[in-house]
Chains A and B, each alone.
Chain A
């Protein structure tokens, strides 16, 4: 991780957003990050990854029905309108609010009724569940879930953020 990040005395929301805009991320870098996330020892073991296919990344778009900022996990419930006109309710589990707040998340970032685009690792069983990876808000803010990060990355804050969804679009 970036040493400069470690030395930064504060890591407020402002600084986070400025850093985000400054960064451009090349696809190969994302691949490296994704691989690192897979192969380094994931740190959030409150969270079982058994339910989710961590090798798959899917992008779901929809309207927020519920956003619960609670331990041990945050939950983002999204109503997704499918191409055939039907709707589905997706239950997306995130990391602990404690870990997320250190990566620039604020409980107030997401509100019921917001339109969101979310990269997720989908459930293995084909039901509408997923493990959060990245949330793209309408105001341009991008929030990465720290699940699976190293201790160094958790202490240092996120250093690589995608600017647009990386998953296979869910229709």
Chain B
């Protein structure tokens, strides 16, 4: 998807550089077409009041925040039906001494939902649910206005998310993910029996395909417990969609559990390009961001 988008942008850029009148004309036409697609009309006060009333009847995801109580890594205890290329990748996978967290780049979906340590918070307004994930300082925007996915969403770290309610379950469908998002492809179970306490011991991180689609089913188990069950659709990795076990979150309503700002400004971990090992820059502040 993103591969296909690049040449078009390059072509447009090249034309623009040449500065021909023809190119400017084409650009103007293009801009016109883009706008024609975007015909939103404001809701009346009455319609808006009705939307808020509808929202009020939904399951209460909204009070307080949610802290992950599940392990960071997914355990992949049911072996996925891997594609040959994924199988090959896993066979040759050498776990890095560390993890993909050696810079301030966002983790992105799906792993941003795994990381925990800090709470997340749901907000809602008519047509949209926002999910602030403190551990990356980022907010997922989940459209609940009944729209379909755009044909070719621009790649982003959190993707394009569309949600709908099936009874008391919020089903969130996400596409349009940047190739750089952190993706757990599997887990080497052998690495786990050695008593390694690292939360990402045995995790096999790998590239996902451009058409990775993530479907999350979010529901309250009880007032204090939220469950998110995620299914991964990626035919470059799995022959069949892979359903992960549900992750659980506990509600925190105390002030200490309120969401906070999280900005990555001073990361001193880096991977040594020569040895491939994780090092700490303990001499200079924030040399490697």
Contacts and interface: CB of A to CB of B under 8 A. Distances in A.
Interface of A: 6, 8-11, 38-39, 41-51, 54, 68, 70-73, 75, 77, 91, 93, 95-96, 98-99, 101-102, 129, 148, 150-152, 154-155, 157
3 residue pairs, one from A and one from B, having the closest CB atoms: A91-B282, A151-B69, A70-B266
Interface string B136-178: 0100000000000000000000000000000000000000000
Contacts of B279: 51
From DSSP, what is the main secondary structure of chain A's interface residues? loop
A6 B119 CA distance: 15
A42 B254 contact: no
Given A50-B97, A151-B67, A68 B256 contact: no
A51 B254 CA distance: 35
Given A43-B68, A43-B116, A45-B200, A71 B278 contact: no
From DSSP, what is the main secondary structure of chain B's interface residues? loop
Contacts, number: 122
A148 B198 CA distance: 9
Given A91-B280, A154-B67, 13 more contacts: A10-B256, A44-B117, A46-B115, A49-B197, A50-B98, A71-B263, A73-B268, A91-B282, A93-B280, A95-B117, A98-B118, A151-B69, A155-B250
Given A42-B199, A48-B101, A68-B285, A9 B278 contact: no
B250 A71 contact: no
B115 A45 contact: yes
B18 interface: no
Interface string B248-274: 011010111100101111111100000
Looking at A8, A46, A96, the one whose CB has the most chain B CB atoms below 10 A away is: A46
Nearest to B251: A155
A46 B117 contact: yes
B90 interface: no
Given A101-B260, A129-B280, A151-B68, A41 B266 contact: no
B255 to A, nearest CB: 5
B198 A50 contact: yes
B268 A96 contact: no
A44 B72 CA distance: 9
B96 to A, nearest CB: 9
Nearest to B73: A41
A42 B198 contact: yes
Interface residues of B, number: 45
B99 interface: yes
A141 B135 CA distance: 27
Given A41-B199, A43-B199, A152-B250, A71 B256 contact: no
Contacts of B116: 43, 151
Interface in B89-133: 97-99, 101, 104, 115-119
A75 B268 contact: yes
B69 A129 contact: no
Contacts of A50: 97-98, 198, 278
B264 A71 contact: yes
Interface in B164-209: 197-200
B227 interface: no
Contacts of B199: 41-45
B276 interface: no
A71 to B, nearest CB: 5
A51 B104 CA distance: 19
A96 B267 contact: no
Contacts of B252: 155
B203 to A, nearest CB: 9
Nearest to A70: B266
Nearest to A154: B67
B112 to A, nearest CB: 12
B242 to A, nearest CB: 21
A71 B265 contact: yes
A45 B264 contact: no
A39 B197 contact: yes
B71 A41 contact: yes
Interface in B7-64: none
Nearest to B64: A155
A102 B255 CA distance: 9
